[in-house]
């Protein structure tokens, strides 16, 4: 038998003033109630109740045990209610890691709504473009824009896809001309994000589905995509950018999409989080929220 369950039965017997009334309250038979109390006495090695055919009385040790049972069972109930509240109302500190460009240009669009929905949460958002070990640096969740995920013990939820597009400012194209095929890029100034997998070569899928690569070079590379895209907007050169970064520039005409018949490999947006047997309510709430937000495709180019 379970000692905690037997303690609950014993308490109910005392509170109800009898075995039959306790059984009615607990939806148990008189014999089951009696057997639970007897097992408890045998486990403790002490008599808790003096019984007669019509009534019972607590022994001295039974009274002391009853009082401790009340304290323990009330604390167990309080702990249960606390966990249930925590499950239904995510709270505490949620640490989020995101790439610099994505954190700067995207997260701020929806983070206030998330925080209004879960006011008991505190957010620590850290944006950077270096490799981050989520577990070692104690992040709850990471957002990643990537072509492929490395082998990892982390769990991953795919949220959306971001096309890669080749772009330049109209002012640059007026001075240097518009490339019509990938091979034309060798004559253009290519501005590179230095943490990309390839900074000196671009791989395309042509209209027939064939793969082709072209070497690129230029006078600027930076480890933040923000600087690269600012330079492109200023007419300094051409770059390949994720659509979430430039889709508004393309819509306004501040940038022009190049080589529309040729496709660069897209990037996927993932939420990564440590693998736990029970996902914490705050992480679940966050992942469900961003999944719903990006269920609608937002970066049309």
pLDDT (tens digit per residue) in 205-257: 999 999 999 999 999 999 888 899 999 999 999 999 999 999 999 999 999 99
Task: For residue range 13-28, list pLDDT tens digits in order.
Answer: 888 888 888 888 888 8
The angle at the Cα of 283, spanning 281 to 284, to the nearest 5 degrees, equals 60
Q: What is the DSSP string of the chain?
A: --HHHHHHHHHHHHHHTSHHHHHHHHT--HHHHHHHHHHHHHHHTS--EEE-SS-EEE-HHHHHHHHHHHHHHHHHHHHHHHHHHHHHS--EEEEEEE-HHHIIIIIHHHHHHHHHH-TTEEEEEEE-SS---TTTTT-SEEEEEESSPPS-SSEEEEEEEE-EEEEE-HHHHHHH---SSGGGGGGS-B-EETTSS-SSEEEEE-TTS-EEEEE---S-EESSHHHHHHHHHTTS-EEEEEHHHHHHHHHHTSSEEE-TTSEEPPEEEEEEE---SS--HHHHHHHHHHHHHTTS-----
Domains 3-88 and 164-264 in one fold: no
Compute the half-sphere exposure of residue 262: CA atoms within 13 Å on the CB side of its CA. Answer: 22
State the pLDDT at residue 231.
97
pLDDT in tens, 42-91: 998 989 998 876 678 899 898 999 899 989 988 888 787 777 766 667 88
User: Which class is domain 92-160+269-293?
Assistant: alpha beta
pLDDT of the residue at 278 = 65
Q: Are the C-beta atoms of residues 186 and 216 closer than 8 Å to each other?
A: yes
* Residues 259, 180: Cα–Cα separation, whole Å: 6
Q: Decide if pLDDT at 6 tops 80.
A: yes
For residue 277, pLDDT beyond 70: no
Structure tokens at 235: 């007419």
Structure-block tokens of residue 273: 């989080």
Task: Taking residues 149-176, report their average pLDDT.
Answer: 91
C-alpha span between 289 and 116 (Å, rounded): 12
- Burial class of residue 184, CB neighbours in 10 A (0-12, 13-18, 19+): middle
Give mean pLDDT, residues 99-112: 94
d(CA 65, CA 156): 50
- At the second CATH level, the architecture of 164-264 is 3-Layer(aba) Sandwich (3.40)
Report the percent of the chain where pLDDT is more than 70: 96
Residue range 3-88, CATH number: 1.10.10.10
**Mean pLDDT, rounded, for 277-298:** 89
Residue 194 has pLDDT above 80, yes or no: yes
Q: What are the residue boundaries of the structural domains of the chain, listed by start?
A: 3-88, 92-160+269-293, 164-264
Position 166 scores a pLDDT of 97
Tell me whether strands 164-168 and 263-264 are parallel, antiparallel or unpaired: unpaired
Average pLDDT over residues 85-109: 88
- Residues 267-294 have a mean pLDDT of 89
């Amino acid at each position: 038998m379970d000692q905690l369950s037997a303690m609950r039965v014993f308490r109910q017997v005392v509170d109800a003033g009898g075995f039959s009334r306790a059984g009615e309250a607990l939806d148990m038979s008189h014999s089951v109630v009696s057997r639970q109390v007897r097992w408890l006495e045998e486990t403790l090695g002490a008599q808790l109740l003096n019984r007669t055919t019509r009534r019972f009385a607590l022994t001295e040790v039974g009274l002391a045990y009853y009082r401790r049972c009340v304290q323990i069972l009330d604390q167990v109930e309080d702990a249960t209610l606390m966990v249930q509240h925590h499950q239904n109302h995510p709270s505490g500190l949620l640490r989020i890691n995101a790439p610099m460009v994505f954190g700067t240009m995207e997260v701020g669009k929806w983070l206030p709504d998330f925080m209004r929905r879960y006011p008991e949460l505190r957010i620590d958002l850290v944006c950077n473009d270096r490799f981050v070990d989520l577990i070692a640096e104690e992040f709850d969740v990471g957002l990643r824009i990537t072509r492929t995920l490395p082998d990892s013990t982390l769990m991953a939820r795919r949220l959306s896809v971001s096309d890669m597009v080749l772009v330049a400012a109209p002012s640059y194209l007026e001075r240097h001309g518009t490339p019509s095929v990938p091979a034309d890029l060798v004559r253009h100034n290519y501005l590179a994000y230095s943490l990309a997998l390839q900074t000196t070569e671009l791989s395309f899928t042509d209209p027939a589905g064939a793969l082709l690569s072209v070497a690129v070079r230029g006078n600027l590379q930076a480890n933040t995509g923000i600087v690269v895209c600012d330079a492109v907007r200023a007419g300094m050169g051409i770059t390949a950018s994720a659509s979430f970064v430039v889709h508004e520039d393309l819509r306004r005409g501040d940038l022009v999409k190049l080589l529309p018949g040729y496709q660069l490999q897209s990037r996927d947006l993932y939420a990564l989080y440590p693998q736990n047997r029970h996902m914490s309510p705050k992480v679940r709430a966050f992942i469900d929220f961003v999944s719903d937000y990006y269920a609608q495709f937002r970066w049309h180019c």
